[in-house]
Amino acid sequence: MLEGNVVAVQCTSSALYRPFALYLLFVHLLRHKETSVDLILQTAVNSMVASSFFALMAVGLVLIFGVMGIVNFAHGELYMVGAYSVWFLYSANGWPFWLAVIGAFVIVTLIGLLMERTLFRPMRGNPLGGLINSIGVLFILQVLAVQLGGVGLMKTVIPPFPGSTTILNGVSISDQRIAALIVAIGLLVAMWLFLTRTRLGWALRAVSQDSEAAALQGININRISMLAMGLGAGTAGLAGALISPMTRVEPYMGHGVIITAFIVTIVGGIGSLSGAVLVAVLYGFFYTFVTTYVSGTVAMMLGLLIMLFVLIVKPNGLIGVRASE
Amino acid sequence: MGITRRDILKAAATGAVLSGVGLPKWALGAKRKTLKIGLCAPLTGEVSAWGLPGLYGCELWADNVNAAGGVKLGGKHYDIEIVSYDNEYLPDKALQGYKKLVAEEGVKMVMMLGGDTWPGVQRWANHAKMLTTTLLPSDLSPDTPYLLAPCEVHPIYNVTGVDWLSRKFPQAKTVAMCAQNDSLGIPSVATYEAAFEVAKIKMVDLNIFDPTTTDFAPIVTSLLAKKPDVLCLDTAYADFVNLISVQAKNQGYKGKIISCTCDNYPAIISKTSKQFMDGFIFQFPDFDDPKLNQKFINFHNPNKFYKDYIERRPGTWTAVSWEYPSILDLWKYGAEIADSPEPMSVLKALKSKPTAPHAFGTAEWWGKDLWGVDNALVGNWPVVAINAEGKARIQEFGSIPKWWDKHSKVLIKHMRARKQMWDQRA
Amino acid sequence: MPFRKIISIGVIYAALLALPFALKLHQQDFMIILVINVLIVVSYRLMTLTGEFSLIHVVLMGAGAYTSSLLAKTIGLSFWLSMPLGGVVAALLALLLSFPLFRMKGFYFLIGSFAVGEAIRLSWSYFDFFGGPKGVKLIPSPHLYIPGLGMQDIWQPIPYYYLVLTIVSLGLLVLYRLEHSRIGLTMNAIHWRDALAESVGVDTWRYRTMAFVIASFFAGIGGALLAHYIGTINPVMFDVTTMVYVLIWVIVGGTNTFYGPIIGVVLLSILNEMFREAEQLRPLVYGILLLAVMRFLPNGLDSLPGKIRDYRRRKLDSDSVDAAGNAPSQAASGSGQPSTNTIGPN
């Protein structure tokens, strides 16, 4: 008994001196001092893929928040449903991959529209009520996924592009990731064009900036809300669909994603689309580099602390233009 | 692989029927008494891959035994019924479930995965004097007299894989390893460190990652940056082995891979290639392996068991599918010697001899040096490698005691450095 | 009225004291955890009195659990000291965090509290000092000197149940008295009329902090009680999933009355046990129930009696209206009681 205590006390005192994350970062960078250009480049390539997916997720959250003032906690589950749709249509029923991705987009968009009509519309302008409702949706979607595919090992979605491309000696990226990256960037560009070049996009931004003024201008708020929710859900579904061959497709896969999406959204300035995209890119690099050189836990911890810092110092976000309540 | 929607519906229907209070047994009109054995394991959530397939395996085992006349103890015939409780891999749920199984269901033994859930149960299990088994011997200590690790001696058997690798591929000089930071990963790290030291393979990188990791691209990048001859995945969750292997292939890795497990490897092959997975070394055989038909194997008719299981629960086979049933085999052996189902009599019968029939041949009760108590059954363990046709085949049965006799000091050194000795875990 | 109240509380306590003997073994464990959770939700409600919902309550519960467990294990401190210290450390942590967190309000506070909570939780998983992902094991149980029996190790469910019931009852008493004191009324006023309260000289920051610190103290106590019973804790036990369940209990129960959250946690926990067999469907039940409550009883179950009263009165009114042929004098309001929290549509 006594012996056990002595050992425990020794552990404690040595652990007390254990340095904190920044110091660890320093030590690890030293440890990797033989760090090669290859490693940096490969990490940069990994970062780009991460960034594009962070952006897709964050843009949807921002659209929904901007127009309805509701934070969609079930956004990660919409992403999960996108991945499950591809698994079900493509892997289990033999649809062509691209058709399955489009199918996933349609399914998740419809779920989004349904959520808007039944759950979010009565809660517009009431952040907490909307949040609670989205938690209800989160549970329901998880259970549906379990019922469809069971629990246990992850669902297998065979990559339609199995090869990989060597960019430089020692730096390579799977073709699946390249394809997903191209589609994700294309989608973001399309969305940007839609929001800046079309009347509907203009109306959506107007509602997002000041819904009362927009309503006075004769913009139909309900229609715009459905548009925002449909688009927001659809992009989350597409992100899940595109990533399904590369990730762990399981009922709880939305959980880790939503935290990252929150960090990006808040730091970018909640309600700011350009802010979300820019921060998604920066955070994708930050997260991937810290994960490569230190650890994923430290990367997540630092991300959360950055978010907290931004909330305290500049609650409108680093880039955000939208005024907070 | 082609899973059709009909398959899913069929599986769902089968599940519904099977969960429907064990109807078939009553329907047969059997009048035998029933003995209950408990399974308190994660059946939902992240860790369910190491619980649920075990339940499926045990149900199959019970059906087989019951169809063959049940168990005969003290002149009476008994049917076996498996009672399960989902502990969600949470200690408080495990405690409630354990009590329910023992005090209300009246089970004669409780099988657990162990790990995070065991410490919640330990005190009460001792109090109730209940025979309990774990798949993780790191739960063992002198304070756990009724806890056995009768099947899996994780992570010690990992030395057999490294030993085989070093003999077969003497040109391998460096290894990079990644491991998840939990009660499965860390003791395994110490074992691999010892095994590689003995094999004179230098560890050039060790990346300990969080169990909530979702993207393995950065981790694989940092491992491959060291240009290792061997990539070691430690004891990673089944899905992590999948994702890491796929990442390694995509980032152009061409060397050897060694891992503790490789569940559902056909899925990994379908995402990479047969060529890439050729020579992947791990420790868990498919049970249709012809080498399991050898005389010294104690698992009853492994090939048929595997076939029946795959038929019943397609796509769910993992290491625990046979492990929990093999514990049931040992229990049956002990109960028949004791001629009684009472937990303490069975325990006494099992421990009455220095050896007992382990699934992979006769093994000895062992563990004092590492866990402070001889409650782990240690003997042969298979080394498995995937061949060019994409099939996992047993390469040899390595002897853990033989390795231990020569290199125990190295293993203890690394276990101590990782704070995994029983006196450090208290 | 107070007499009726005393009688009903007396009856409830008599039932609670007798209950463990009517229960099966694993149900006794269920009761212990339920009683601890009652303290968690009621203390959480104190926070909501000032109008703020946080997502850090369960992490502070974990802080109490870790403090008490580590003190008991490493320096062998007695439970009777380590348990209150668990509460004190959780309260101090809340005090420290109140400086950054109370710069935010409403939704921003919610997300900010989530961020800092998750960061704290990840640090338990990252640093060996806290035991890493596998947490702390073999946490000693409390010992109590009972005259005539000597030193008793309280680890069996029934004695521990009484211990928990006593400590939680004391906590509830303190929380109840606090709410009905000047301080509690001021807290409520802050929620209602933030600017107004400030203009008459109320230091809103101070009252918010007070509510947060006191709520966290009891969360820490709850965590310590849980840790010393189960004997092991790990970071996963205090993650956002658990927090979401606490939030659901509170919101389904309702935050307008002291007993609202208690109704929520008791009903939903029992429901959860009832659906034990249908493992995988349990979250579905939670989800549907949550949506239904938000739709039909946005102020929680505790607004139900008011609603019924309201409905009856309206029915009476309309009957008399029909007779007199006038329009009803009262507009039908959503709830018979004043709605103190804006969870529902406003």
pLDDT tens, A17-28?
Answer: 444 555 555 555
C185 SS3 class:
helix
DSSP string, C251-314: HHH-SSSSSHHHHHHHHHHHHHHHTGGGGGGHHHHHHHHHHHHHHH-TT-GGGHHHHHHHHHHH
The answer to whether position B79 is within a domain reads yes
B45/A92 CB distance under 8 A: no
In this predicted structure, the answer to whether residue B71 has a pLDDT above a threshold of 70 is yes
Residues B194 and B163 in one domain: yes
For residue C261, the model assigns a pLDDT of 95
Residue A231: CATH number of its domain: 1.10.3470
Distance CA C64, CA A97 (A): 50
Cis peptide leading into residue B155 (ω within 30°) = yes
Distance CA A43, CA A40 (A): 5
- Max distance between CA atoms of chain C, in angstroms, equals 79
The answer to whether position B52 is within a domain reads yes
For residue B376, the model assigns a pLDDT of 95
- In Å, how far are A70, A184, A213, A232, A270 from A66, measured between CA atoms? 8, 21, 14, 11, 8
Distance CA B102, CA B125 (A): 9
Domain limit, last residue, from B360, B378, B396: B378
Q: What are phi and psi of B228, to 5 degrees?
A: -75, 155
- Give mean pLDDT, residues B156-182: 94
**Distance to chain B for A201, nearest Cα, Å:** 34
A118: left (phi over 0), alpha (psi -120 to 50) or beta: alpha
Return the exposure string of A218-240: e unless at least 16 CB atoms fall within 10 Å of the residue's CB, then b: ebebeebbbbbbbbbbbbbbbbb
Interface B-C, measured as beta-carbon pairs within 8 A, has a size of: 70
- In Å, how far are A257, B89, C76 from B45, measured between CA atoms? 17, 8, 35
Question: Is the Cβ of C343 closer than 8 Å to some Cβ of chain A?
Answer: yes
Query: By residue range, what is the domain housing residue A284?
Result: 23-28+36-160+172-313
Residues B273 and B206 in one domain: yes
The residues in B 26-55 lying below 8 A from A, measured between CB atoms, are: 43-46, 48-49, 52-53
Residues in chain A within 8 Å Cβ distance of C346: 125-126
B84 DSSP β-pair partners: B39
Return the exposure string of C14-41: e unless at least 16 CB atoms fall within 10 Å of the residue's CB, then b: eeeeeebeeeebbbbbbbbbbbbbbbbb
Among A148, A172, A293, select the one facing B251 at the smallest CB separation: A172
Q: Are strands B174-180 and B202-209 parallel, antiparallel or unpaired?
A: parallel
Tokens 């429907």 identify what position?
B20
Q: Per CB distance under 8 Å, which residues of B are interface residues toward C?
A: 43-44, 86, 89-92, 95-97, 99-100, 103-104, 115-116, 119-120, 122-123, 181-183, 186, 210-211, 419, 425-426
- Give mean pLDDT, residues C288-306: 86
CA atoms within 13 A on the CB side of B330: 34
Query: By residue range, what is the domain housing residue B93?
Result: 5-154+294-378
pLDDT tens, B209-241?
Answer: 888 788 898 889 889 988 999 999 999 988 899
**Distance to chain C for A297, nearest Cα, Å:** 7
- Report the complex ipTM: 0.81
The answer to whether the CB of B282 falls within 8 A of the CB of B336 is: no
In this predicted structure, the answer to whether residue A96 has a pLDDT above a threshold of 80 is yes
Residue B230: CATH number of its domain: 3.40.50.2300
The residues in C 223-252 lying below 8 A from B, measured between CB atoms, are: 226, 230-234, 236-237
The answer to whether the CB of B62 falls within 8 A of the CB of B82 is: yes
The answer to whether position A3 is within a domain reads no
Quick one: pLDDT band at residue A123, thresholds 50, 70, 90? confident
Distance CA B347, CA B338 (A): 9
Residues in chain B within 8 Å Cβ distance of A11: 419, 424
Distance CA C226, CA C67 (A): 12
In this predicted structure, the answer to whether residue A15 has a pLDDT above a threshold of 80 is no
Q: What are phi and psi of B175, to 5 degrees?
A: -135, 140
A168 SS3 class:
strand
For residue B176, the model assigns a pLDDT of 96
In this predicted structure, the answer to whether residue C225 has a pLDDT above a threshold of 70 is yes
For residue C152, the model assigns a pLDDT of 86
The answer to whether position A268 is within a domain reads yes
For residue A125, the model assigns a pLDDT of 67
The answer to whether position B287 is within a domain reads no
In this predicted structure, the answer to whether residue A8 has a pLDDT above a threshold of 70 is no
For residue A14, the model assigns a pLDDT of 38
Question: Is the Cβ of C114 closer than 8 Å to some Cβ of chain A?
Answer: yes
Sorted by where each begins, the domain ranges of chain C are: 24-296
Q: Which residue of A has its CA nearest to B423?
A: A4
Higher-confidence position of A87 and C306? A87
Q: What are phi and psi of B359, to 5 degrees?
A: -50, -40
- Give mean pLDDT, residues A295-316: 84
Class of domain C24-296: mainly alpha
CB atoms within 10 A of CB A182: 12
Task: Report the neighbours of C using a cutoff of 3 or more CB pairs below 8 angstroms.
Answer: A, B
For residue B317, the model assigns a pLDDT of 87
Residues B146 and B180 in one domain: no
In this predicted structure, the answer to whether residue C326 has a pLDDT above a threshold of 50 is no
Residues B167 and B268 in one domain: yes
C244/A135 CB distance under 8 A: yes
Question: Is the Cβ of C33 closer than 8 Å to some Cβ of chain B?
Answer: yes
Higher-confidence position of C339 and B121? B121
